[in-house]
Structure 1
């Protein structure tokens, strides 16, 4: 049975492409297991590798007959260690390490960075975290050529691992020249989602949006929340973006790790209020890098993200470099399906109007959802050209399966990030017998609809411009 199916999870799955799943055949397996959006991480690999990944994704999508989405993740001003003289390097508590200018060092205790201005940004008393917070340093002295640090939490670091500066306000822009180049490439390739790393203000998001508009791109901009400054301006950043990613890896280093769960809940709550899709990312099924099963804590983590209101969960290394990429996707889908059985639909008082789409569309979509639940309809079908109406329906969190029917492949791919919306290609979108027949034929062919089932259609009559103003209740013959 081809995707989408009514039995798959409503919460969407984002999977990172890498060596473990780079072939067309493996990508097909992941799509069939439940992947809705593939992520290409520009922090790793070259342009030629990214082009190959995109080509393979599109081949796999065509082979499956499913319009999977593509998310390009811009690296942003991510600081990393340079090449270590001793690799790996054991950092013992109390030892002295120094960051020096330049690209190379000759002493094991001298570290270099990919960020040329690192020493200029540091001051005595600042904290430096290495390897996702595994090793902690405290800056003791800064000169023109070096910053001397004392190890306060020991561990092992390797070349190219990340550097975080909690509490240090960097002067660097959210988009480096390489990010601008990657964003332009994404726009030219028709990529569906572009995520911006280390967002600190709504202006960072708007800068990327302006760049994409200049290249006539309709890509949705996803703001990654991973800096304390982003939490300070959270409401404005969410308002400026098309969606948000809770990037718990760097966020859990930039703020106290104990505060991360509460920060995650707050981010999801604000996204729900502003009707923006939100992705929860990093270490969701971390142990499945090597194990064929997750820990119970990881399963609970995924479930809690869904119960909080996440629209999607993301797999990173689990699919990019893990030993069991397909099993990781299948497991995430299983956890999602089990969790969603316990979710309750919002009642009508919680389905409040919004400003994202035409107010008539909002009112009609909410009414259609309540009608469908009252008659226990088998399916809700939304005919949409841009995906806006499906966006409204997604936020209702209704348990009734919903098809987002569109004749635009761009719209079909973008709907892959909307909770509960299953994209299906349709040649007719208005309130015509042809549209109803087309959807019912799809339902019968995929064993979803039987005689007597009721389907609620949301479409437009054309009388109200750019609005859905028709609700049809159809009984399958």
Structure 2
């Protein structure tokens, strides 16, 4: 059965595009298995390569008939090692590793970095983490040309691996030149979501929004929380952003790894408070890089993200470079569905902060959910142009299946990130009756497959936003299936 389908997870799936899945046929497979948004990681590849991925995604979307969303992930000021003398280089415990200026090291136990001012900004006592935190250093001496570090946790390092500096205040800009170029390309190519890495302040988010506004781009800006400074400014960042990503890879290196689970819960709770979508990312099904099944701990990790209230979970290397991209998506969908069916309450309506300008939309969307709950409706149908009414319904966390119909394709793609919302494109919605007929035909197709969605005599609650149907001004109506 083509998507949207109401027998799939309400929590959305974001999948990273890479060599393991970047063909049109593979992308179409992943869409059919449940991918709602594809992520293009701008840290790998050129704009030309990003454009090729985007073209393949759009073709796969047309092939499946499902308007999948696209997220461009800006690399941000990620500091990386330069070219090493030997590959890999082992760092023995208690020995010394020296950062020198330049881009290429010439002697063993000397390294360079992609950040020219690194030596200037390091201080004695600072911690330096390499290879995703497996190798740890402590700065013991800093001169004009080098910084000598003692190795306090041993391991192997390789060229171009990331450098994390927990607690070190850097003056690097939130967006590098390549990030600006990628953001402009995204704005010119109707990308739906743009995420900003290593956000530290709400001003970082505002700078990206201002850039996109100058190109009349309506993409949603997703702030990635992966720095201690971001946790210090969490509420202000969440208020400024259109959505948030819990980027646990770098966050788990920048802060004590033991604090990461609590930080994740805090970030999700803050996003719920301010009614912003939140994505949980990194190592969710990590073992499925090379295994067709996840570990029990990974299955629990996905389930706990759902229980915490995440709107979406993200697959990174599992789909980009893993051996089992399709199985990874299918498994994440299964875990989410079982968790939602057996562990989520019937409704956990959010008591978030409501924008005064949107009080009517909030009131009508919540009222529609309450009517549907009260009369036992099998389906809620929402007509929306911008997706705003659907987002309010998403925040009610009602388990009643919900389809959101829009005449604006970009809004349909953005709604792919909204929890519990199945988006549907309809080129022209004439009136409420036309909407009901459109949704009923779709619902009957669902019946033919498994007979479990709606039957004659069941009710559908229809919420019509004032920005879609003329003279509808936020109408709630109840329709009985004939």
What is the TM-score when the length of structure 1 is the normalising length? 0.97
Counterpart residue number, 1:346:
347
Find out whether 1:451 has 2:451 as its counterpart. no
What is the distance in 2 between the residues matched to 1:357 and 1:456?
Answer: 25
Check conservation: 1:361, 1:468, Cα contact below 8 A: no
Check conservation: 1:125, 1:139, Cα contact below 8 A: yes
SS of the counterpart of 2:396?
coil
SS of the counterpart of 1:58?
helix
User: Cα deviations across residues 28-67 of structure 1 (Å, max 9, x unaligned)?
Assistant: 0000000000000011112221111001000000100000
Counterpart residue number, 2:179:
179
What are structure 2's unaligned runs of at least 5 residues?
Answer: 448-452
Check conservation: 2:459, 2:480, Cα contact below 8 A: yes
Check conservation: 1:381, 1:456, Cα contact below 8 A: yes
SS of the counterpart of 1:32?
helix
Q: Relative to structure 1, is the Cα distance of residues 36 and 378 closer, same or farther in structure 2, using a 3 angstrom cutoff?
A: same
Counterpart residue number, 1:163:
163
What is the distance in 1 between the residues matched to 2:468 and 2:117?
Answer: 59
What is the distance in 2 between the residues matched to 1:347 and 1:196?
Answer: 30
What is the distance in 1 between the residues matched to 2:279 and 2:87?
Answer: 34
Q: Relative to structure 1, is the Cα distance of residues 105 and 362 closer, same or farther in structure 2, using a 3 angstrom cutoff?
A: same
Within-5 A mapping of 1:377-456: 377-429=377-429, 431-447=431-447, 448-456=453-461
Counterpart residue number, 2:120:
120
Q: Relative to structure 1, is the Cα distance of residues 463 and 229 closer, same or farther in structure 2, using a 3 angstrom cutoff?
A: closer
Within-5 A mapping of 1:329-340: 329-340=329-340
Q: Relative to structure 1, is the Cα distance of residues 144 and 306 closer, same or farther in structure 2, using a 3 angstrom cutoff?
A: same
Counterpart residue number, 1:135:
135
SS of the counterpart of 1:245?
strand
Counterpart residue number, 1:85:
85
Within-5 A mapping of 1:40-119: 40-119=40-119
Find out whether 1:470 has 2:479 as its counterpart. no
* Deviation of the 1:105 alpha carbon: 1.6
* Deviation of the 1:434 alpha carbon: 1.5
* Deviation of the 1:157 alpha carbon: 1.1
Find out whether 1:153 has 2:158 as its counterpart. no
Check conservation: 1:357, 1:389, Cα contact below 8 A: no
Check conservation: 1:361, 1:467, Cα contact below 8 A: no
What is the TM-score when the length of structure 2 is the normalising length? 0.96
Counterpart residue number, 1:263:
263
* Deviation of the 1:433 alpha carbon: 1.5
User: Cα deviations across residues 132-160 of structure 1 (Å, max 9, x unaligned)?
Assistant: 10000011111111111110000111111
What is the distance in 1 between the residues matched to 2:352 and 2:387?
Answer: 19
SS of the counterpart of 1:14?
strand
Check conservation: 2:430, 2:469, Cα contact below 8 A: no
User: Cα deviations across residues 81-125 of structure 1 (Å, max 9, x unaligned)?
Assistant: 111111011111011111111111211211011111111111111
What is the distance in 2 between the residues matched to 1:102 and 1:78?
Answer: 17
What is the distance in 2 between the residues matched to 1:84 and 1:446?
Answer: 57
Q: Relative to structure 1, is the Cα distance of residues 110 and 353 closer, same or farther in structure 2, using a 3 angstrom cutoff?
A: closer
What is the distance in 1 between the residues matched to 2:467 and 2:399?
Answer: 29
* Deviation of the 1:375 alpha carbon: 1.6
Check conservation: 1:431, 1:461, Cα contact below 8 A: no
Check conservation: 1:101, 1:145, Cα contact below 8 A: yes
What is the distance in 1 between the residues matched to 2:246 and 2:178?
Answer: 23
What is the distance in 1 between the residues matched to 2:475 and 2:25?
Answer: 42
Counterpart residue number, 1:212:
212
SS of the counterpart of 2:223?
strand
* Deviation of the 1:430 alpha carbon: 6.4
* Deviation of the 1:358 alpha carbon: 2.3
What is the distance in 1 between the residues matched to 2:209 and 2:430?
Answer: 31
Q: Relative to structure 1, is the Cα distance of residues 22 and 297 closer, same or farther in structure 2, using a 3 angstrom cutoff?
A: same
Q: Relative to structure 1, is the Cα distance of residues 276 and 22 closer, same or farther in structure 2, using a 3 angstrom cutoff?
A: same
* Deviation of the 1:271 alpha carbon: 0.1
Counterpart residue number, 2:225:
225
What are structure 1's unaligned runs of at least 5 residues?
Answer: none
What is the distance in 2 between the residues matched to 1:262 and 1:317?
Answer: 24
* Deviation of the 1:343 alpha carbon: 0.3
Q: Relative to structure 1, is the Cα distance of residues 282 and 43 closer, same or farther in structure 2, using a 3 angstrom cutoff?
A: same
* Deviation of the 1:453 alpha carbon: 2.1
Check conservation: 1:15, 1:319, Cα contact below 8 A: yes
SS of the counterpart of 2:20?
helix
What is the distance in 2 between the residues matched to 1:69 and 1:340?
Answer: 23
